[in-house]
Amino acid sequence: REDKNTKSRIAITIDPEFIQWIDHKIDEKIFASRSHAIEFAIKRLMEEERQKGSDRRLMREAGYLDEQDNLVK
Task: Tell me how far apart the alpha carbons of residues 3 and 64 are, in angstroms, rounded to a whole number.
Answer: 31
* pLDDT score recorded for residue 11: 95
Q: How far is CA 58 from CA 1, 5, 37, in A?
A: 26, 27, 20
Q: Nearest to residue 28, comparing CAs of 16, 20, 38, 17?
A: 20
When pLDDT is averaged across residues 15-26 and rounded to a whole number, the result is 98
CA torsion sign for 49, 44, 13, 6 is negative
Task: Give pLDDT tens digits for 22-61.
Answer: 999 999 999 999 999 999 999 998 888 777 656 777 788 8
Please tell me the distance from the alpha carbon of residue 64 to that of residue 71, in angstroms, as a whole number: 6
pLDDT, residue 22, reads 98
**What is the C-alpha to C-alpha distance for residues 63 and 43, in angstroms, rounded to an integer?**
20
The more confident residue out of 5 and 2 is 5
